[in-house]
């Protein structure tokens, strides 16, 4: 999360983190529910900040994958092979 904050701040968008210390404090909820929230100070920056977050998350898996039948190379946005419909294992 701090990593993403740094990335956004390099774009000269002012943000702060809410719930930074809430992680791990809540028992059975999924990790997503207890994730810290990133807030932008200026609403005008929101769209840009969201785009940065999305691209930085997706870049982790932004590699093409080859389906198990080796019949097709699929882009990361595809969860199933567009050629034979087998899942990305």
For residues 49-68, which are near Zn ion according to CB under 5 A?
67
Binder to Zn ion among 1, 22, 62, 84 (CB under 5 A)? 84
- Count of residues near Zn ion by CB under 5 A: 7
If binding is defined by CB under 5 A, does position 71 make contact with Zn ion? yes
Residue (12 or 87) nearer to Zn ion, CB:
87
If binding is defined by CB under 5 A, does position 72 make contact with Zn ion? yes
5's enclosing H/E stretch is: helix 2-10
């Amino acid at each position: 999360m701090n990593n993403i904050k740094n990335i956004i701040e390099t774009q000269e968008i002012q943000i702060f983190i809410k719930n930074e210390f809430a992680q791990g404090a809540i028992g059975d909820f999924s990790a997503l529910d207890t994730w810290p929230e990133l807030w932008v100070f200026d609403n005008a920056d929101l769209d840009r900040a969201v785009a940065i977050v999305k691209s930085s998350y997706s870049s982790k898996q932004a590699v093409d994958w080859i389906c198990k039948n080796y019949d097709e190379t699929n882009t990361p946005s595809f969860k199933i092979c567009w050629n034979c419909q087998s899942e990305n294992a």
